[in-house]
Structure 1
Amino acid sequence: MSTIYQEMFDIGEGTRQVSVGARRFHHPHLRALAEHELLSAGHSEVDGHLHVERIGAPFHVVLFCVDGGGVVTDGASRLTLGPGQMAILPALGHSGFRSAGTPWRLAWLLVNDVPAWRMLAGDHVSIRPLMHADSLYQTVRVLCAEAILGQAGFAAQALLLAVDLFRRALASHADEAIAARLQMVFEPVRHAPAQEWRVEDFARAYGVSAAHLHRLCVRHLDATPQQLIIRQRMRRARELLVAGAGNVATIAEQVGYQEVASFSRRFRQHFDVSPGALLQAMRAGQGGFPAG
């Protein structure tokens, strides 16, 4: 891979940046960074002008915003980065970041574009929620301070914590993505609740075995696939009842139940109100009931 790329720095006098790099020409440099495929780490206290932009850089840039905020660029697009958010600027793109005219505190990592960090790759900049942003920021501050003092051992310990916090943040986002994808896999049930749905069909749609789908659903949605099918049927039943689409027996049949008693029992377990009581409340103009 070519290491030739375009880079632009425009940093005003009011902006203070501290960093540590993995290569010998960095001052200070910390060899342990290279073990984690990090090119450098640092933090910035922006009070004034800051504009950094790169085209075709062979590394990912990750920003952790603690206070204030700035603008992240993705080609011609402009994205706002605020407190408690993480921005990932993938390698080889045309991206950057700049101040927005207000004080801004952030930490950052330059991460090598290698298989170990493949989760950072992509065609566009992404901005994600970041829990414990202040912990990451403070850890990077300690890392840089200890490296400047020449305390490589303490700096390496701070680096381990920073990498662990970073990986935890990425894993949290990955979990959210899996949960959202699983929810979408079961969405067709709501549109055709009377159909005879089989867990194997959803597993095939997700691209895993039925047993693995069961494990994923329990881990990420706290429910089995069969429970998720029931949940979608009950939500559709609630929508139909509220819309006045029929009596309890009619709605039961529309969502795949042949026995009204079985449907009513399941509905009550799910929403803590029977479908008949819900209809009576709707007719009486009482409106709402538990969301479930």
Structure 2
Amino acid sequence: MMPFVVAELANLEDALPLYVYCVGNHEQKRLDRREGYPAQQIFLTRSGRGAFRLRDGRQFTMTPGTLFILPADVPHEYFPDDADSPWDLGFVAFRGNASPLLLEQMGKLVLSVLQAADFDRLWQQLESLWHLISLNEDQAYWESSKKMYGIALSVMEDQRSVERMAKASASSEPNAALATAVRLMHDHYNEKLLTANVARAAGYSVQHFHRLFVAAYGTTPQQYLLRLRMRRSVQLFQEQPGISVEKVAELLGMETSYFIRMFKRTYGRTPKQHAKN
């Protein structure tokens, strides 16, 4: 958990066009903000589910892997929506002269529950921001301003990926074949899958399959499979506390040394460091 941290800016508000107001995550309880909140907010749901309700009656339900962008000063309340599962909600609030322009640039992403294409990446950026703010140092606030802008860009980039994947799945025959290939990856990610075998299952040559896959998903089949394995490794560490790195690598069908190297490249820290946190 990242306990709620309020930024103590040491009079840097006027110097920073964008600055973090608060950041954290916790098991969210019901909260009523009849006057709204004096900062723009981005919320990330890691587990459980909850709902935001606006004064005009609109309600937005968040489920695991989703994000929600809420403008400043919008009256609202939010609350867990599943009595059997805690709502693990991450959040960052930001202000500054540039913050309204940033939300304007996000356009239709605001006040809409969004499924993240790469939720783990966004959550890690949130954690990194929290660690910076926790230092409570002058330089940390300058760095956190940069990271805050980075999170906003990542959200927009992430949703472009979602749109691209949706367009790919909406087109006809080639993407039906690609969907077969993707299902094969999801069902057999823990085996030694060769691209040639996946391409054959989709009915294409390796070269043609590679071109179609990159055009549809914006990444290569090998990178997609690696990303799938990395996400699954994070789930295994969460689901089975104390599980060894070697066991996770085995369950993913990867050599331990290769798994450690790819995990660090993906998340910026080793599997052991991640498990400890």
TM-score tier, shorter chain, comes to 0.3 to 0.5
Greater RCO, CA 8 A, separation 6+: 2
TM-score, length basis structure 1? 0.44
TM-score, length basis structure 2? 0.46
User: Greater CA radius of gyration, 1 or 2?
Assistant: 1
Name the structure with the higher strand share: 1
Name the structure with the higher helix share: 2
